[in-house]
Structure 1
Amino acid sequence: MRTHLLRLSRPTSRRTLATVHPGSPPPTTSTFTSNSIFPREPHAPAVVTSCLPGPRVQEASRGIQQFQDSRTHVLVAGNYIVDLDGNAFLDVYAQIASIPIGYNNPDLLKLAKTDLFATMAMNRPALGVFPPGEWKDMVEKAFLSVAPKGLNQVFTAMCGSCANETAFKAAFMTYRDKQRRLSQPPGSPAGPVEFTQEELASCMKNQAPGSPELSILSFKRPMVDWPAIKYPLEEHAKENAEAEAKSLQDVEETIISMKEIRPVAAVIIEPIASEGGDLHASPAFFRGLRQITKTHGVSFIVDEVQTGVGATGTFWAHEKWGLAEEDAPDFVTFSKKMQASP
C-alpha cells in the first residue's frame, strides 16, 4: 500500500488591506481606493521617497540591528505592503509563501475570532495523542477535499521542512519494505515482513541493518542539474528538448550508479524551483521523470510549498503535467498557505 503525504505553500496575491505603521506619514487620498471591500486598500503601488529603503525604514532597521541581524531587510513594512515611509508595494511574494489568500482577508479574520479557532490555537493538542472530536471533519474539509488526484491520505507536521523530512522518512520506509518483500523466498505469505531484533535495536542508533544507507535525489544541489531552459520557448524548442533529455538521462544514470553505494529511495522536485531561481521545465520533462522513478522503484516527491494552492492557475501546479491517475506522485508536500504543514 502506498503511503501518501501532502504539503502546501506559496500563495496567490489577492486583494489586500493596507495597514500603515502608526508612525508613518499619512498617505495621500490618491494612494487608496474607496470602493474596495478592504478598508483603505491601495489601488496601486506608490513610491513617495527619493530612495529605497527610505529614511524611516533605515532608522527602524538600525534599531532592529541591536538584537537581530538586519542585513536581509528590504522593507520594514505594514501590510499592502506599505512601509514606514508610506511607500506602497504589491507583495507578489505573499510573505515568503505564508499568506493563503492575501493579507487581512475578511473571511479569515472572521474565522480567527471564533470560539473554535481560539480553542484550537490556545490548547494546540498533541494531535497524535489527543485529537479533538472535530479533527476528522476538519482534515477532510481542509485537506482531503483538495487532495491531488490519486492521493487520499494526509499526515500533518509542524512546518514545511518537517513535511519534506517526513516524506523522506516515509520514502525510506517504502523503499526498504519493497526490498524486504523481494528478499522473501517464493511462496511466502503476503503482507509486511517482520523486523528482526537486530534491526529493531540498530535502528534506534541510526545504524545498519535497521537504518541502512539510503539517499534522496534532488536537483541543482547536490546531484543533478535542472535542465537549462532557454527563452523564448518557441525559439529554442530543440535546445530545450535536448537539455531536458540530458537531465533525465543524468537522473536515471545516477539512480543506477548509486544502487551499490547509497541507493536512491526517492526523487524530489518542485514544479517550479521558486526560491531556487525561478526555474521551469516542460510537462513532458516531469512526466518522463515520473516514469523513471516508477521503472526503478523510487518514490516521487513533489514539493508544492511554493507552487501549491492556486499559485499557478490550478490548485496544484503539478496538475498541469497531465499525469494519469496511476502516475500520481507518491508524496505531495505543502505548508504555510494552508496554515498547516502536511
Structure 2
Amino acid sequence: MPEQRRILRTELPGPRSRERHERRGEVLPRGLGTTLPVFVERAGGAIIVDVDGNHLIDLASGIAVTSVGASAPAVVSRVRDQAAKFTHTCFLVTEYDGYVEVAARLNALAPGDHPKRTALFSTGAEAVENAVKIARAATGRPGVVVFDHAYHGRSLMTLAMTAKDDPYKTGFGPFPGQVHRAPYAYPLRWPGGAEKCAAEALAALEELLAEVGADTVAAIVVEPLQGEGGFVVPAPGFLTGVQEVARRHGIVFVVDEVQSGVGRTGAMFASEHEGIVPDLLCTAKALGGGLPLGAVTGRAELMEAVHPGGLGGTFAGNPLACAAALGVLEMFEDGALLERARDIEAEIRERLSAVQSPWIAEVRGRGAMMAIEFVRPGSLEPAPEVAKAVAARCHAQGVLTLVCGTYGNVIRLLPPLVISSELLSDALDVLAEAVTGIDVRPEPGAR
C-alpha cells in the first residue's frame, strides 16, 4: 500500500510519463482519449503512484470502479486464490461457484422482496443492452424510452440510448431505431423552475408515450442519479412517477446503476434513496473492484422470458471478476463503507459551501458521487472552459478529477470510499484554490 498522502516529485506529467506517452502515440489510435497523461506504476487506497514517483490523490476511482480502493486486500486475495485455480472456462461451457454466489448476493441486495434472477456480463454497456433484450423478450415490444443527458454506454445500442453526441456518437451512426427520448427532471435547468420540474417532466413523458404508443414500448431506462450527464439528482418525486407510469402501461422499468450502484451514494443502490424498485437493475463498474463485471438483476418472471442460450458471452461472469466481486461485496457487509460514503458527502458539502465563486451554479450529488456545475456569472449559461481549467489546475497539483456534463461544465468527484478525511481535505483544498484562483475567457463559440 503506497503512503496515503500527496507527493509531487516532478511536474505532471513527469519525464518518464512523457516518454511513455510519446510511445503511446506511435502504437495507439487517437480515438483513445486520456484525462491526465501519467503512467501508473502502482495504486492503493486513494493514491495513484506514477512512474516518476508522484503520489496523486484519486478523486476518479477509475470512473467509479475502484470504490473500495485500488488494490483492496479483500479483492486482491480472492483474485490471487482464484487465478491459482483457473482463470477461465466460460460459464456457458462449464460452471463454477463464483458466478452463482455473485448472482445470489445481488438477488438478495437488490431492492424489492420479489423473486429475482441475475445474469452476469462483462461491462456496463453489455448489462444495459441485455436489459433491453430481456425487456423486449418479456413484452414482445420493440421500443425503448430514455432521457435527456443520459449516458448508457459505447455499443451501438447504448450509444443510441446515450444523449450526448460529441465525442461518443459523432461519426458512428446510423444507430438502432425505436429509441425515444424524454426530458429528465434536472432542477437547476428546468425552464419552469425546480418546483414544477418533476410534474412537468412526468407530463412530458406521458405525452411522449401517447405519441409513440405506450403499447409499443418495452422498457423505460433511467439513471437514478445521472453519471456522464452531470451527476444530476432528479427532482423529488420524478423517479417514483416514472416507475408508476411504467407500471401503468405494462412497460419494464429498467434502472441503470452502472455508475451510482454498489455503495457509491451511501446506499447499496441509489434507487434506495428514492424508494423505487426496478424491474431490472443494471450494475457494473464498482461491482468488480477493478475487474470487468456487469450484471442484470431482475424480477424472476422477466429474466426467465429469454430462451436458453439467449443470454451470455465468452467472458461474461469471468471467474476472476466474480472472485473480485465477492471481495467487494464482503467489504460492504458491516455497513462501514456506506457510512463512510455519507460522511464523504458531508465533508465535500461543508468544504465546497465555503468556496465563494460566481462561477459555481450548484454543488450536488449523493454520497461519494458529488459534482460542481460551472456557469457564466449571473446566468445559467454553461462555462465548460472553467471546468476544464479547474481540472487542469487540480491535475498539476496532483489531484485527479474528471470533467463531465452534457455541456462539459461539471467537475465530478468520485473518491474511493476508503479515502481518509485528511487526504480528502487536502484534495478539496487544492480544488477550492483552483476554483477561486481561476481566470478564464469564454472559448470561441462556447454555449
TM-score normalised according to structure 1 size: 0.66
1:43-82 map, 5 Å? 44-50=5-11, 52-68=12-28, 69=30, 71-74=33-36, 75-78=38-41, 79=43, 80-82=47-49
Q: Contact 1:76–1:84 (CA<8 Å) still a contact in 2?
A: yes
- 1:278 is displaced (CA, Å) by 1.6
1:234-245 map, 5 Å? 239-245=193-199
Deviations 1:120-148 (A, max 9, x none): 42xx23323421366544532x4334233
Structure 2 residue matching 1:223: 3-state secondary structure: strand
**Cα 1:161–1:71, aligned 2, differ >3 Å: closer, same or farther?**
closer
Structure 2 residue matching 1:257: 3-state secondary structure: helix
Which structure has greater strand proportion? 2
Q: Which letter maps to 2:285? A: K
* Number of the residue aligned with 2:113: 150
Q: Which letter maps to 1:215? A: G
Structure 1 residue matching 2:34: 3-state secondary structure: coil
Is 2:233 the counterpart of 1:280? yes
Structure 1 residue matching 2:6: 3-state secondary structure: coil
- 1:96 is displaced (CA, Å) by 2.1
Q: Contact 2:139–2:218 (CA<8 Å) still a contact in 1?
A: yes
Q: Contact 2:103–2:117 (CA<8 Å) still a contact in 1?
A: no
Q: Contact 2:198–2:236 (CA<8 Å) still a contact in 1?
A: no
Structure 1 residue matching 2:220: 3-state secondary structure: strand
Deviations 1:275-320 (A, max 9, x none): 2222221341111111111111111110011011110000111100
Q: Which runs of 5+ in 1 are unaligned?
A: 1-16, 19-40, 177-211
Q: Contact 1:61–1:73 (CA<8 Å) still a contact in 2?
A: no
Question: Following the alignment from structure 1 to structure 2, what is the Cα–Cα distance between the partners of residues 228 and 135?
Answer: 38
1:289 to 242, 258, 262: 242
Question: Following the alignment from structure 1 to structure 2, what is the Cα–Cα distance between the partners of residues 300 and 316?
Answer: 15
Q: Percent identity?
A: 26
Is 2:163 the counterpart of 1:217? no
Is 2:92 the counterpart of 1:125? no
Q: Which runs of 5+ in 2 are unaligned?
A: 149-162, 164-179, 296-447
Q: Which sits farther off after the overlay, 62-71 or 266-275?
A: 62-71
Question: Following the alignment from structure 1 to structure 2, what is the Cα–Cα distance between the partners of residues 134 and 58?
Answer: 41
- 1:93 is displaced (CA, Å) by 1.9
Question: How many pairs are equivalent?
Answer: 252
What's the RMSD between the two structures over aligned residues?
2.6
Q: Which sits farther off after the overlay, 246-255 or 129-138?
A: 129-138
Question: Following the alignment from structure 1 to structure 2, what is the Cα–Cα distance between the partners of residues 319 and 290?
Answer: 13
* Number of the residue aligned with 1:88: 55
* Number of the residue aligned with 2:252: 299
Question: Following the alignment from structure 2 to structure 1, what is the Cα–Cα distance between the partners of residues 85 and 136?
Answer: 36
Q: Contact 1:156–1:341 (CA<8 Å) still a contact in 2?
A: yes
Q: Contact 1:283–1:320 (CA<8 Å) still a contact in 2?
A: no
Question: Following the alignment from structure 1 to structure 2, what is the Cα–Cα distance between the partners of residues 137 and 72?
Answer: 35
TM-score normalised according to structure 2 size: 0.52
Question: Following the alignment from structure 2 to structure 1, what is the Cα–Cα distance between the partners of residues 33 and 124?
Answer: 24
Question: Following the alignment from structure 2 to structure 1, what is the Cα–Cα distance between the partners of residues 112 and 7?
Answer: 42
Deviations 1:249-273 (A, max 9, x none): 111111121118x922111111111
